[in-house]
Structure 1
Amino acid sequence: MTNRSSAHAADIIIDYEEDSYRKQTQEFFHDLPHNIQQYIINLFPIASWIHRYNLQWLLRDLIAGATVGVVIVPQSMGYAKIAQLSPQYGLYTAFVGLCVYCLFATSKDISIGPTAVMSLLVGQTVTRITSVHDDITGPQIAVALSLLTGAIAMFIGLVRLGIVVDFIPAPAIAGFMTGSAITISIGQFPKLFGIKTVNTQDSSYLIFGNFFKHLPDTKLDVAFGLSALVWLYGVRFACQYLTKRYPKYSTTFFFISIMRNGVLVIFATLIAFLMNIGKSVSPISILKTVPPGFQAMGVPVVSTNLVSAVASSLPSGVVILILEHVAISKSFGRINDYTIDPNQEIIAIGFTNIWASFFGAYPSTGSFSRTAIKARSGVKTPIAGIFSAIIVLLALYALTPAFYFIPDATLAAVVIHAVADLVSGPSYIKRLAKISLWELFVFAAGVIITFFTTVEYGIYASVGLSIVILLVRIARPKFWSLGRIPLSSSTGTIQTSNEKSDPIEQQNYLYVPQNHPSLGKLVEDLPTGILMCRIDESFTYPNSSYIADRIIAYCKEHTRRANVVLSKGDRAWNDDANPVRDAARANLPRLHALIIDFASVNRLDSSGLQAIVDAQNSLNRYAGQHVEFHFSNILHPAIRKSLIVSGFANQPRAGFEDEHEANEKEILPIVPASRDGPIQRHQTNHTSTSTTGDDIEEAVETHYAQDNKEGKTFNSSDEESVTTAHSIYLPRDRYPFFHWSADEAVRTASRSIINRPEESSTVAVDHAEPQH
C-alpha cells in the first residue's frame, strides 16, 4: 500500500508490491531448516507435556484408564465376533491401540481399539475372501488389513494430506455409521435368541427376514440376552434419573452406570458356569476357550495373493480409520476446549495399526462410546490408555479361563447396547431436513445402501454423493442481480477556514438482491445504463462458462440492443437477434457499465478470467459500444493482479493493433492463433465514444480535487459512516475500475456515462453524486 498526494495529502491510494517468485523461493529455503526441525518435534507431541506430569494427573488418568478397561474387555470380544474372528483378537487389538497411541496423541480423550463399524468391515471382508480363497484365513486377512491401512494412513499424515478429511461432510459419516449400527444390531438378533439356523453373513434385510422366520427355534439363550438388555438400559436410565434428582451424587451414579457392563458379564458367566456343572454339553451357547497371552504375535506375512484379495477393501478401510478417529477427536476437542492436529492424529492411528499387525490385531480406531466414558471419568492425558491396556493385559493372562463360560447372548446384548448410540435419531433427521435436503439425501443413501449391501458400498455411495453435490455447487454458484435501497443519510463534516464544522448529508445505499424475500419490495434500480451483480463462489474453470452466460443473459434482459441494421450476409451465424424481443426492449437503456461484486470471490483462475473477457466482448457487440466492467470489493491481491494482467484496470484493453483485436484477445489461448488468414472485423457500430481508463481516472481526480477544495471530508461506503478522530477517506485504488465500495463504483460509472454523446442528453445523473 502506498500513499499518494495527487488530490489531497490524506487520500489513500491502494496498490500492491509484487512478491516475486525469486523472493518466495529465498524465503522458503531460509525457513526450511527451522520447518524441518519443527516438523520432527511435532511428530511426538508427548514431549511438549510429559515434563509437566504430576501425581494428581496420574490419579485421574488411573481412574479413567481403569474405567475404560472394564468396558473395553467385553466389548472387544463381542466386536471380534462381528469381525468373524476369535474373541482373543479383539483383546489383542484393544491392547496395542491403548498402549501405542499416547506417544503420538494430540487428544487426551480418545480411546483407541476395536470399533463396531471397523469390525463390520473386517467381518464382511473376511467372509468375502474366505468364500473364494480356501488358503487364506480370517486372521491373515485381519493382519493384512491392519498393516496396509495403517501404512496408507501414516503416509497421508506424514505428507500432510489430512485436508482430504474435510471433503467428507458429517452427514455422510453419520449415514454409514447409522447404517452400520443397524446392520450390526440385526446381525446380533439370532445370537440374542440362540437361533443357529440363520446365516448372519447374509445381507441385513435377509437376516431380518430369516430371524422372524426361524423365531420358533428360540433357545434358552433368549433369557440371558433379553435380561441383559433390560439390565443395561435399566441401569443407564436409573442412573440418569438419579443424577438429575440428586446432582451432588452425579459422580457416584456415573461410575455405577459405567460398571454395568462388567457386572453383567460377571453374573452371566457365573450363572452359565453353575448351569454347566455336571453337563458335557452346554444348554446355551457360550464363548468357550480363549487362549491366554499373545498367541498370534509375529512378523506379518503378507503375500501378493493376500494383498490383491484385500485391495478392494483398503479404500473403505482407510476412510473409516481416518474419519471415525478424526471426527471423534475433533468433537471432544471442541467440548473440552483444546485443539487437535488432524495430520498428527492420522499419523498416530497409522503407526498404531502398523504396530498392531505384529500382535495379530485387526484395524483399530477411535471409539465414540469409550471416548465419552474416558472424558466423563476426568482423564487428564493420553497416558490413561496405558492403564486401560494393563486391564486388557490382565484379562489376557489371568482371566481367560473365566471367559470360557461367557454366554454368547450376553456378548450380543453388550454389542447391541454399544452400537445403538451410533444411530442418528429422529431429532437429527428433522434438523438435517430443515438445514439441507441434499445432505439429508446423502445421509439416507448411506443408511439404505449400507443396510441392503455392505458398509463398503455405503461409504462409497455417501462419500461419492457428497463430492458430486460439492462439485455441482461449485459449478453452479448463486448469481445475484443487485439493486439498492437508500439508507438514512450519513453525516460528514465541512472544515471551513475558521475551523467551524457544518454537517452535510451524503446518500449511501444498501445493495441487496432484487428478489430478496424481506427487502425486495424496497429495492430500486441503479442509474440508467448501469447494472450490478454478485457471484457467490470462486470464479474458476468448473463454473466460468455458466457465470459468463448468466452475466450476459442478465445484461441483455435489462438493456436494449444497439440500433444497428445488418444485412443477411453480414449477420453472424450465431446472432440471436429477435425482432419481437428487441421491439419489447426498445425503451430500455443501452448498457453502459456492469459492476461485479467480488466480495465472495476468493479465487480467479485463467478460465474465469477468460470468461469475464468473453462476457465483455459479447456485451460490447450487443450494446454497440464499449461496456465498462467495474469491480468492487476485490479482497485478494492475486485476483486484482489477474484483472490487471488481462487489461481490466484500464479499459478498453490495449496492447494490439486496434480496439477490435484488443477486445477479442484470449488471455491464455489453448491453441495458438494462426498467423495466416484474414483479420476478423466485427460488424458493430463503434461510432459512440468509448470511455478510457484515463478519462475515468481524470474525472475521479477532478471529483476528489473539487471535494477537497470545498473542504469536504466525508467518507463514502455501503454503510453509514461517522467522522471520528481516527476516520480516513474511503481508500481509492490506483486503477479507476477497481473500487472499495459499491457506492463508489456506481458513482464512478455515473460520472463516466456523460462522456458518451448519445447517452449524455438522456441519462439521469445519479442523485447520490455530490453537486459542485
Structure 2
Amino acid sequence: MTASEKKSKGDFLMKKVVGIDTQERYKRYPSDLERRARETVLPAQAYLEEEPTVAEWFRDLKPTKESAVHYVRTLFPSLEWVPRYNLRWLMGDSIAGLTIGFVIIPQAMAYALLAQLSPEYGLYTSFTGAIFYWIFGTSKDIVIGTTAVGSLLVGSVVTSVQEKIANGELAGEYENQDIARTLSLIAGCILIFLGLFRLGWIIEFIPYVPISAFVTAASITIMSTQAPVMLGIRGINTRESPYTVIINTLKNLPNTSMDAAIGITCLVMLFAIRDFCTYMEKRNPHQKRLWVTISSLRQTFAMILFTIIAYLVHKDYPKDEDYHKFRLVGTISKGFNKAHVPQPTGELVTAIIPELPAIVIILIIEHIAIAKSFGRVFNYTIVPSQEILAQGFSNVFSPFVGGYVCTGSFGASAVLSKAGVRTPFAGLFSAFILVLALYVLTGVFYYIPNAALAGLIIHAVCNLLTPPRSLYKYWQLSPFELIVWFIGVILAMFTDLETSIYVTIALSAVLLLVRLSRTSGRFLGKVRVHQVPNDFTSPHSDSDETDVLKAEQATAHDTFVPIDRKDATNPAVEVESPYPGIFIYRFSEGFNYTNSGHHIDRLLTYVTSNSRRTTAESFARESDRLWNDAGASKPKDDHLPLLRAMVFDCSAVNNMDITAVQALVDLRASLERYASPEPVEWHFANVNNRWTRRALAVAGFGFPAADNPLSEVHWKPAYGVAPLANALVEQEKEAEEKASRVHDEEAGAPARRHSSAMARKEDEDAASAATAAASKAPGGGETPRVSPSGSESSSRRHVGGHPATKYGTLHGVNRPFFHLDLMAAVESAARDATRADERYSEERCLVEEEEEEEERRRERDGPDSPVGVPITPADSRVASP
C-alpha cells in the first residue's frame, strides 16, 4: 500500500469514526491554482509555501549539543572575563570596592532596623551579595545588598508573622531573624528557578507606573516610621498605616527627647554636604572626582562624627540603657556567630507564602531597573535572567551567614560607578571591608545613636520620591497612567504597600485590555506623495508650484493614510480610494479575541454603508423580512460602488487566535451574501508569522474561492519574483566557461568567433529589453512581478535581465492573496476588480440590449405576444477570462 493510499484510508476512517473531515479545508481551494501559477512564472521557480507543523515546533524546541554548552557557559559570565583580568582592572576595582565598603556599612546597619532586626544582620546581608554576585552577574556597576524598600518589606512580613503568633494562629515561637531567613531562602529559590529557566521576560508584564507609585509610597512609609525614632518620640505604633503614624507623630511632638538634636542635626548635615559637593562639582569641574568621593562618603563621616559624640557623652556611664542620654544601637555580635543552617518549618513557610509575590516582584524590578540603567550609561548589555539568577544565589546563601533578603541598591551602585569600578570583582574588596568591620569595629558600633541612623535612612529614601517634574512628564505621556499612580500612592498611605502594588498592577492590566479591545482600526485611502529635495529651488524662486513636482527632479510614490484623517497627517491633503469597491483596513493593536468583535462590527458597518448590494433584497411576503430590518424606502445608494475586495494591512498583527479567525470567517459569510452573486476577494498584506498564515489558509483565505466560479474568472495571477541565492554565482561561472571556450577557439575559428560575438550581442539586447519590460510591470522595481499580460517570448526567456531559471517566486504561489506589502495587495485587488467591472458592464449592456429588443418586438407584434425571459447580470456567467 502506497503512502497516499494509507493517507486516504486514514482520512476515511477519521471521517467515519470520529467525524473529522481532514479535506474540508480544501473545499474552497481551486484545483488548478498551482497549475495556473506555474504557467504564469515559467521558467522561474514556483515556490510552494509549506505550512508549519506541531512536530516542527517541537523539533525547534529540542536543544542541541551546541545550545546546551552555550547555556552552561552563560550561567557563569565570569568565565569570559576572569582569564583577561589585568593589573589595571585590579587597581580600579580595589579603589572602588574599598570605597563602597565604607559607604554600605552605615546603610546596611540602618536598613536592618527597618527589617525589625539588629544592625549586624545588615552587614551579613551585604557581605553575601558582595561575595556571590561577581560569579553570576553581568553588570560591573551594581551592588547587591540591603535596600530601604526591601528591608521595609521584610519588616512588614516579620510584623505580620509575629501578629499571627500573638493571635494564636501559629503554634510555634519564631524569632524575627528566623522569619527573615526563611523568607530569604524561599525568595532565593524562586529567583533561581526563574533564572535557570530564563523566565526573566515575565517581569515585563509589570508596568513602570505601579512600581514608581510603590517606591514613592514605600519612601513615605519609611520616613513616617523613622520620624519618631529620629525625634526620640516613644510609644508610637509604626506598624499602622502611614497616615495614622504621621498623625500620631504630629500629636506627640511635645514629647520629643534629646534624640531629636542628634537626628535632626544628622539629617541637616547630610543634605548640606550633598548640596555643597554638588555645587563644587559644577564650580570646579577639574576637581569633580574629589567632590564626588566626599559626597559619597558623607554618610560614613556622619556616623563617625555622631558615634564620637555619643562615646564622649556616655564614656563615663555603664553600658546600660538606663544610663543612656539618647538611644544607642547597643551591643553587636562579633564576627559571623549568627551563621547557621536555616531550618524552616512548614507552618512558617505557609505563613510567609502569601507575602512572597510582592516581595519577589519588587526585588526583581528594583535590581533589573538599576542594572539596565547603568548598562545604558556605560554601553554594555545585561542579561535579565542571569541577573535574577545572581540574585537567587545571593538570597539562598544569605541565611547561612545570618543575612536576609538582598537586591540591587541604587545609591550604593551609583557610588561604585563614580568610584571607577572596572569589573564585578570589586565586590570582593567591599566584602573585605565588611569582614573587617564585623571583627574589629563591633565595639565602636555600640555607640552609634539610633536617631542618627534614622536620619540617615530618611536622607537616603528622600531620593526615591518621584519628583514633580516626573509627574508632569507622566501627565504628558499618559494621563490615565498618572491617575493609576495617584491611586497607588493614596492606597498605600491609608492601607498597606501590598494592597497598593496589587491594585495598581490590576488597574494597569485593565487599562491595557481596554486599549487592546477598544482601539479601532483605520480604513485607508491612497495619496500620491512627491519627495522634494531641500536644494530643489531657492526660497525666492518665482517658479510655479507645479514645477516643484516635476518628475525629473522630484520622485513620487503612493502611500496609504487613514481616510478619517484622525492621525498626524495634514488634513488638507486629498485622500482618494485606490479603486471603487476596494476597502483597505489596517489593524492598529493586533487582532485577537479581545478586539475581534469590535473590529468586525466596524468593518461590517463601514463597508455596507459605503457600497451597494449587487442584487436588491426581495421577499415573497413582507413578513419574511427580519423584525429589525425596516428596509429602504427608496434606493439611495445607486452612486455607490459594488463591493469587490477587502484588503487587510496586518503589519501590527503577529498572532491570530481561534476567535479572531472565526470572526473573519463570519465577516466573509456576511459580505459574500451582501455581494452575491459577485465574489469578494480577501487580500492580506504583511502577514509574516507562519502559524498565522496557516490559520488563515485553513479558514479558506489566501487564494481565490473555488465555490464561486466568478472568482477564478476575475483572478489574474501575478507573482513577485527575485534572484535565487546562488543564481549570480552560477551565472559568473557560466560566463567564465564560455569565455574560456571562446579563447580556445579563437585561433582556429575566426568565423565562429564572429558568430559567437553576434550571439552575445543578441543576448545582451534581449536582456536589456526584458529589464525594461520588468520595470514597467505591475509591482516592478527590486522584485519584478510576472503576469500573463507580458510578452510570451520575453517572459519565458528572461526575467529582470537575467536568465529566468535563476529566479524564483518570493512567496508561495499557492497563497496568491498573501502579499509582501500593502501596495502589492492593493495592486492585485485593483487588477481583479477592473476585470470584474468590465465583465459586469458587458453583462449590463447585454441586458439593456435584450430589454430594448424585447420592447421593440412587443411594439411590433402587439401587447398580447409572449414575453421572453430577460437576462440579468445575476443569471449570466462568463466561462473564460
The 3 A distance-change label for structure 1 pair 722 and 445 is: farther
How far, CA to CA, are the matches of 1:489 and 1:72 in structure 2? Answer: 59
2:646 paired with 1:588? no
Counting only pairs closer than 5 Å after superposition, residues 710-749 of structure 1 correspond to structure 2 as: 711=773, 713-714=775-776, 734=813, 735-749=815-829
One-letter amino acid of the structure 2 residue matched with residue 512 of structure 1? V
**Which stretch shifts more, 224-233 or 748-757?**
748-757
Q: What residue in structure 2 maps to residue 47 of structure 1?
A: 79
2:691 paired with 1:638? yes
Q: What residue in structure 2 maps to residue 673 of structure 1?
A: none
SS of the aligned residue for 1:510 comes to strand
Counting only pairs closer than 5 Å after superposition, residues 372-387 of structure 1 correspond to structure 2 as: 372-387=414-429
Counting only pairs closer than 5 Å after superposition, residues 546-561 of structure 1 correspond to structure 2 as: 546-561=598-613
Q: 1:133 aligns with which of 165, 169, 172?
A: 165
SS of the aligned residue for 1:533 comes to strand
| Equivalent residue pairs, number | 708
Q: 1:509 aligns with which of 558, 565, 572?
A: 558
TM-superposed CA distance for 1:231, in Å, is 1.4
Q: What residue in structure 2 maps to residue 253 of structure 1?
A: 291
How far, CA to CA, are the matches of 2:657 and 2:407 in structure 1? Answer: 40
Q: 1:454 aligns with which of 496, 502, 506?
A: 496
How far, CA to CA, are the matches of 1:719 and 1:433 in structure 2? Answer: 46
**Which stretch shifts more, 735-744 or 391-400?**
735-744
Is the contact made by 2:111 and 2:151 (CA closer than 8 Å) also made in structure 1?
yes
SS of the aligned residue for 2:254 comes to helix
TM-superposed CA distance for 1:576, in Å, is 5.1
How far, CA to CA, are the matches of 1:180 and 1:505 in structure 2? Answer: 59
How far, CA to CA, are the matches of 2:328 and 2:681 in structure 1? Answer: 82
Q: 2:592 aligns with which of 531, 540, 548?
A: 540
The 3 A distance-change label for structure 1 pair 711 and 104 is: closer
Q: Please list every run of 5 or more consecutive structure 1 residues that lacks an aligned counterpart in the other structure.
A: 491-501, 660-689, 702-706, 764-772
Q: What residue in structure 2 maps to residue 344 of structure 1?
A: 386
SS of the aligned residue for 1:348 comes to helix
SS of the aligned residue for 2:164 comes to coil
TM-superposed CA distance for 1:585, in Å, is 4.4
Q: What residue in structure 2 maps to residue 150 of structure 1?
A: 188
Q: What residue in structure 1 maps to residue 95 of structure 2?
A: 63
Q: What residue in structure 1 maps to residue 244 of structure 2?
A: 206
**Which stretch shifts more, 319-328 or 469-478?**
469-478
TM-superposed CA distance for 1:168, in Å, is 1.3
TM-superposed CA distance for 1:13, in Å, is 6.7
Is the contact made by 2:716 and 2:832 (CA closer than 8 Å) also made in structure 1?
no
**Which stretch shifts more, 290-299 or 742-751?**
742-751
Counting only pairs closer than 5 Å after superposition, residues 170-249 of structure 1 correspond to structure 2 as: 170-249=208-287
How far, CA to CA, are the matches of 1:405 and 1:604 in structure 2? Answer: 66
How far, CA to CA, are the matches of 1:311 and 1:324 in structure 2? Answer: 20
TM-superposed CA distance for 1:128, in Å, is 1.5
**Which stretch shifts more, 385-394 or 546-555?**
546-555
The 3 A distance-change label for structure 1 pair 691 and 327 is: farther
TM-superposed CA distance for 1:91, in Å, is 1.3
SS of the aligned residue for 1:406 comes to coil
TM-superposed CA distance for 1:474, in Å, is 3.0
SS of the aligned residue for 2:273 comes to helix
The two structures have a TM-score, normalised by structure 2, of 0.75
Q: What residue in structure 1 maps to residue 860 of structure 2?
A: none
Q: What residue in structure 2 maps to residue 473 of structure 1?
A: 515
The 3 A distance-change label for structure 1 pair 509 and 14 is: farther
TM-superposed CA distance for 1:544, in Å, is 2.5
How far, CA to CA, are the matches of 1:357 and 1:316 in structure 2? Answer: 20
Q: Which whole-Å deviations, capped at 9, do the CAs of 1:738-766 have from their partners, x for residues lacking one?
A: 33343333333233234257853799xxx
Q: 1:83 aligns with which of 110, 115, 139?
A: 115
Counting only pairs closer than 5 Å after superposition, residues 362-381 of structure 1 correspond to structure 2 as: 362-381=404-423
CA RMSD of aligned residues (A): 3.4
Q: 1:326 aligns with which of 358, 362, 368?
A: 368
2:645 paired with 1:613? no
How far, CA to CA, are the matches of 2:801 and 2:100 in structure 1? Answer: 58
Is the contact made by 1:117 and 1:177 (CA closer than 8 Å) also made in structure 2?
yes
Q: Which whole-Å deviations, capped at 9, do the CAs of 1:522-562 have from their partners, x for residues lacking one?
A: 22233221111100233223332332222212212322345
Q: 2:715 aligns with which of 678, 696, 702?
A: 696
Is the contact made by 1:203 and 1:453 (CA closer than 8 Å) also made in structure 2?
yes
Q: What residue in structure 1 maps to residue 836 of structure 2?
A: 755
How far, CA to CA, are the matches of 2:422 and 2:201 in structure 1? Answer: 28
Q: 2:345 aligns with which of 289, 292, 303?
A: 303
The 3 A distance-change label for structure 1 pair 505 and 458 is: closer
Q: What residue in structure 1 maps to residue 148 of structure 2?
A: 116
TM-superposed CA distance for 1:10, in Å, is 10
The 3 A distance-change label for structure 1 pair 197 and 347 is: same
Q: What residue in structure 2 maps to residue 671 of structure 1?
A: none
Q: 1:445 aligns with which of 470, 487, 490?
A: 487
How far, CA to CA, are the matches of 1:738 and 1:71 in structure 2? Answer: 62
Q: Which whole-Å deviations, capped at 9, do the CAs of 1:412-440 have from their partners, x for residues lacking one?
A: 11111111111121111111111112332
The 3 A distance-change label for structure 1 pair 305 and 711 is: closer
Is the contact made by 1:193 and 1:225 (CA closer than 8 Å) also made in structure 2?
yes
Is the contact made by 2:684 and 2:702 (CA closer than 8 Å) also made in structure 1?
no
TM-superposed CA distance for 1:319, in Å, is 0.8
SS of the aligned residue for 2:716 comes to helix
Q: 1:102 aligns with which of 112, 134, 137?
A: 134
Is the contact made by 2:584 and 2:648 (CA closer than 8 Å) also made in structure 1?
yes
2:644 paired with 1:597? no
The 3 A distance-change label for structure 1 pair 505 and 5 is: farther
Is the contact made by 2:40 and 2:718 (CA closer than 8 Å) also made in structure 1?
no
How far, CA to CA, are the matches of 2:175 and 2:294 in structure 1? Answer: 41
Q: 1:487 aligns with which of 529, 551, 555?
A: 529
TM-superposed CA distance for 1:257, in Å, is 1.0
The 3 A distance-change label for structure 1 pair 755 and 590 is: closer
Counting only pairs closer than 5 Å after superposition, residues 419-430 of structure 1 correspond to structure 2 as: 419-430=461-472
Q: Which whole-Å deviations, capped at 9, do the CAs of 1:363-404 have from their partners, x for residues lacking one?
A: 110011111111111111111111111111111111111111
TM-superposed CA distance for 1:612, in Å, is 1.2
How far, CA to CA, are the matches of 1:545 and 1:584 in structure 2? Answer: 29
TM-superposed CA distance for 1:43, in Å, is 1.3
How far, CA to CA, are the matches of 1:582 and 1:80 in structure 2? Answer: 82
Is the contact made by 2:185 and 2:399 (CA closer than 8 Å) also made in structure 1?
yes
SS of the aligned residue for 1:692 comes to helix
One-letter amino acid of the structure 1 residue matched with residue 280 of structure 2? L
Is the contact made by 1:300 and 1:358 (CA closer than 8 Å) also made in structure 2?
yes
Is the contact made by 1:235 and 1:260 (CA closer than 8 Å) also made in structure 2?
yes
Greater CA radius of gyration, 1 or 2?
2
The 3 A distance-change label for structure 1 pair 538 and 693 is: farther
**Which stretch shifts more, 322-331 or 709-718?**
709-718
How far, CA to CA, are the matches of 2:160 and 2:372 in structure 1? Answer: 34
Q: 1:520 aligns with which of 552, 571, 577?
A: 571
Q: Which whole-Å deviations, capped at 9, do the CAs of 1:74-133 have from their partners, x for residues lacking one?
A: 111111111111111111111111111111111111101111111111111111211220
Is the contact made by 2:474 and 2:482 (CA closer than 8 Å) also made in structure 1?
yes
Is the contact made by 1:488 and 1:720 (CA closer than 8 Å) also made in structure 2?
no
How far, CA to CA, are the matches of 1:585 and 1:315 in structure 2? Answer: 60
The two structures have a TM-score, normalised by structure 1, of 0.85
The 3 A distance-change label for structure 1 pair 715 and 709 is: closer
How far, CA to CA, are the matches of 2:436 and 2:111 in structure 1? Answer: 19
